[in-house]
Amino acid sequence: MRAQGAGSRPEELERLRVRFGVWLAAGGHPNLAALSADPVRLDGLLADYGQCLWSSDESQGTFAETLNAVRHKYAHLQYQLKGAWQVRTAWQHLEPGTSRAPFPPVLLCALVAACLLWGSPWVEFAVCIALCFEGALRPGELLSLARVDVRFPAESGSADGSLYIILRHTKTSQTRGARWQHVRIQSPRLVRMLWSQLGRRAGSDYVFAYDGTPSARAARLTAMLASALRELGVPYGSANGYVLSSLRAGAITTLYQRCGDLQRVRWYGRWDSLRSMEHYVQELPQATVFAALSSATREQLAALARLLPQLVRRAALDQEPPPFV
């Protein structure tokens, strides 16, 4: 159901169906329920609706979600809307979307260092964003992580000191990927930070421990990132700044720049295929957000980043986890 656009947002899907129904009525067409018995005609009308949305400067996501909404309501239409989906594909080719500006490592280190200076609750936030970057996690993957999903060497049997993050709710696992995926963390500093912060928590506790509904927790994490970046003089926002998904973008970009191995990057980013990540890797290095910062701001960020090892020790986040024996 999640792969078909259902899941946790039935109100949004119903709103899109109603909107499509209004368009049908304005054109003198039968309603959606009646058209569901005539898939060929419905397919043609949905294709026309997609063209209408395109001409009105709507987003391709709105059209795709409308198709999902119709398909979810009438399951027998699962494979009978090929013309409408071809319009969606053509739209993607004309307007492939945008990638988030990647977090450069120096900005990540500066941000983590600043959060450690500010103390609780920023210490937990610092550990979360460091994990998000190092593991190339999507924001939703971070928010769903519980302590039981963080496997330290003694808990996983890893003899090389690596830590494993078990991802139970990933984007690709909802479609064709493995049901559960994992991330391997090899940074000794981050392993110590995670143990210091999470080692003695209950297994059911979230890694980002803010209480509330999923939407409230997501809003809290977003607000903290926005506040922290603005305090450092760095813009927040998807248009000309950084957002939570910039952490994953930064991790992917950094790895590719260091190794140049697309297969390794694909595995690290948990993509189904090389093709699905091609434009992502090609476009990210072109982001100009960091270059647009003043030289004084970039120098201050670099100076703050150099303080990170000292601040990790001061915050008592350098405790060694028990080894695998």
Low-confidence ranges of the chain (pLDDT < 50): 1-8, 172-177
Kindly provide the residue ranges of all beta strands, DSSP E only, lying in 4-162, ordered along the sequence: 150-151
pLDDT of the residue at 2 = 47
Lateral strand order in the sheet of 163-167: 150-151, 163-167, 181-185
pLDDT of the residue at 169 = 65
pLDDT of the residue at 135 = 93
Q: Is the pTM of this model over 0.85?
A: no
CATH 1.10.443.10 residue spans of the chain: 105-314
pLDDT of the residue at 6 = 44
User: Burial of 170 by CB count in 10 Å (0-12 exposed, 13-18 middle, 19+ buried)?
Assistant: buried
Q: Give the type of residue at 15.
A: R
pLDDT of the residue at 234 = 96
pLDDT of the residue at 100 = 75
pLDDT of the residue at 276 = 60
Which class is domain 105-314?
mainly alpha
Provide, rounded to the nearest whole percent, the portion of the chain with pLDDT above 70. Answer: 86
Rounded to whole angstroms, the Cα distance separating 207 from 221 reads 12
Rounded to whole angstroms, the Cα distance separating 100 from 79 reads 33
Which residue from 137, 144, 184, 138 is spatially nearest to 164, judged by alpha carbons?
184
SS3 303: helix
**Beta partners for 4?**
none
pLDDT of the residue at 181 = 84
Q: Is the peptide bond before 121 cis (omega within 30 degrees of 0)?
A: yes
